[in-house]
Chains A and B, each alone.
Chain A
C-alpha cells in the first residue's frame, strides 16, 4: 500500500464516502469507535496531526509510515469537523490573502456530507461486509492520489506562471484522479464486452479513451498537437 500519501488527503477522500471509519477490518473499526467520542474533546490536538500531514508544500509532512497508525488520524478527522465548526464560528474569519482568495469557498455552512449519520451508517454496514480483497482495493482507492508537488511542477511548466496556488493544485489533482477512475472503469467495461480478463492492456485504455472523447468528457484541443 502507498505510504507516502498524506493521511489527511486520504481523510478528505473519506469525507466523500462519508464514513468516519478507516478501511481496515472490523476489529479496528470497533476499537476506534470509543476513541472517536473521546476525541470529540481533543479536536485541537488531532488537527495538528492532520494539518502537518496535509501541508506537504511546507515540507513538514510527518507521514507515519505504519499503515494502521496513519489511518487513525483519518478517524479523527470527522470528529474534527464538529470541533472545527465550533471553533470557526467563534473566531473572526480573517484570511491572509497572500494566495488567491477563496472567498467563494468560505461559506463553511456547507459541511461535507459526512455529517449525515444515515449515510455514515450505511457506509459502515457496507464496509463491515467487505472481503479482504475488496477492502484492500477500497483502501487503495481512498488513499491513492497524485503528488501535489509533481502536479504543481507540471502546472508551472504548462502555464509558465510560477504562481500556482495550493487550492488549484488540489483541485487539479482531484480532477485528474477522477479522470483516471473514468478511464479505468471504462476500460474494464470494454474488457467485459470483449470477454477478456486479467490486467488491463493499453488497447483497452485506448478504446476507453476514444469512447470518453466521443462522450465529450475530454477537453478537445483547439490546435492540433504537432510536436510530441
Chain B
C-alpha cells in the first residue's frame, strides 16, 4: 500500500505559492527541513538520506490526511470540525493523547497570560 516516494507524479510540484483552497496542489518537500532535524532528534543519522526524508514526509502527509478525513466524518455529525474530533481519534493512544492535552492546556495558559499582560500594558499607557 505504501507507494514509493517516486510514485506520486500527480502531485505536481507547483512552483506557485498560492494558498490551496479547493485545489489539491501540493509541493513536494514541504516539511523537508523540519523533518530532517526531527528525525535526527528521534534517532536517525545527523544527515538522513533525502529519499528517507521524502518517504517519511509522504507517510506523514498520508497519516494527517487520513486522520483529518476521519475527524471530518466525526465532526460532520456535530456540524463543524473541532479539536475534540482529533482528540477522540487518538483516545486509544495514551502518549499522544496526554501530549495533546498538555499542548492545549499550555496554549490556554499562554492566552490568559497574554491577555493579562495586555491589560497591564493598557494600564501603564493610560497612566502616562
- Closest chain A CB from B108 CB (angstroms): 5
Q: Which residues of A contact B33 (CB under 8 A)?
A: 2
CA A171 to CA B93, docked complex, whole Å: 14
CB under 8 Å from chain B, chain A span 113-150: 113, 137-147, 150
On whether A87 and B107 interact (CB within 8 A), knowing A158-B64, A183-B59, A202-B51, the answer reads no
Q: Confirm or deny: B127 has a beta carbon within 8 angstroms of a beta carbon on chain A.
A: no
Q: How far is the CA of A178 from the CA of B67 in the complex (A)?
A: 14
Whether B56 lies near A147 (C-beta < 8 A) is no
Given A106-B108, A154-B61, A205-B55, A221-B66 contact (CB < 8 Å): yes
Q: How many residues of chain A have a CB within 8 Å of chain B?
A: 96
Are A170's CB and B120's CB within 8 A?
Answer: no
A177 on the interface (CB 8 Å rule)? Answer: yes
Whether B52 and A176, one on each chain, are in contact in the complex, defined by CB atoms closer than 8 angstroms, is no
Q: 1/0 per residue A165-177: CB within 8 Å of B?
A: 1111011101111
**Nearest Cβ on chain A to B106's Cβ, whole angstroms:** 5
Q: Is the Cβ of B103 less than 8 Å from the Cβ of A218?
A: no
Measured CB to CB, the closest approach of chain A to B87, in angstroms, equals: 7
What is the CA–CA distance of A165 and B104 in the complex, to the nearest angstrom?
Answer: 12
B3: chain A residues at CB < 8 Å are 228
User: Judging by beta carbons under 8 Å apart, are A91 and B35 in contact?
Assistant: no
Given the interface pairs A159-B72, A175-B90, A175-B96, the reply to whether A150 lies near B101 with Cβ below 8 Å is no
Known A142-B41, A201-B49, A202-B55; judge A179-B84 contact (CB<8 A).
no
Nearest CB of B to A187, in Å:
8
Between A and B, 19 residue pairs with Cβ closer than 8 Å are: A2-B33, A16-B99, A44-B120, A47-B114, A80-B113, A95-B111, A102-B108, A104-B84, A110-B105, A141-B41, A153-B19, A156-B20, A158-B64, A171-B100, A175-B64, A175-B90, A184-B56, A201-B49, A205-B59
